[in-house]
């Protein structure tokens, strides 16, 4: 059925557009700094921005960049050590990426 296929394609392209082109969900904000400091202390917007930069640079080579809030903090803590090995992250990169994704996982409610 051709119409079904078109719907499917529309769904896929819309999803890709939403993921690629929604700066709100990926870029750290001042609100995120507040969230981050509920868990850690003295986290700055610069640190979250650096985490975001490393995240996009190191985590999109093998698969699409995961949407941070697709996973809960608990899941990230299981996923990150494994992915860190794959990306050969330095200790600093690991720390910044972890702060970034866990903060972003708080910022939204959709979780699995």
Q: Where on the chain is the footprint of ligand HEC (CB under 6 A)? A: 58-59, 61-63, 66, 71, 79, 82-84, 86-87, 89, 97
Q: Minimum CB separation from ligand HEC for residue 16, in Å?
A: 17
Q: Minimum CB separation from ligand HEC for residue 23, in Å?
A: 19
Query: Toward ligand HEC, which CB reaches closer, 10 or 64?
Result: 64
Query: Toward ligand HEC, which CB reaches closer, 7 or 60?
Result: 60
Q: Minimum CB separation from ligand HEC for residue 31, in Å?
A: 22
Query: Toward ligand HEC, which CB reaches closer, 7 or 111?
Result: 111
Residue 96: CB partners within 8 Å, gap ≥ 6? 47, 50, 51, 54
Q: Up-side HSE of residue 79: CA atoms within 13 Å toward CB?
A: 14
Q: Minimum CB separation from ligand HEC for residue 26, in Å?
A: 13
Query: Toward ligand HEC, which CB reaches closer, 6 or 74?
Result: 74
Cβ 50 vs Cβ 97: under 8 Å: no
């Amino acid at each position: 059925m051709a119409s079904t296929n078109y719907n499917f394609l529309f769904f896929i392209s819309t999803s890709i557009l939403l993921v690629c082109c929604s700066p709100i969900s990926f870029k750290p904000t001042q609100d995120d700094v507040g969230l981050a400091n509920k868990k850690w202390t003295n986290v700055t917007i610069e640190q979250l921005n650096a985490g975001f930069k490393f995240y996009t640079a190191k985590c999109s080579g093998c698969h699409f960049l995961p949407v941070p809030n697709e996973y809960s903090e608990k899941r990230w803590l299981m996923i990150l050590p494994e992915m860190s090995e794959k990306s050969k992250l330095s200790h600093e990169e690991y720390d910044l990426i972890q702060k970034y994704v866990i903060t972003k996982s708080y910022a939204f409610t959709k979780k699995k």
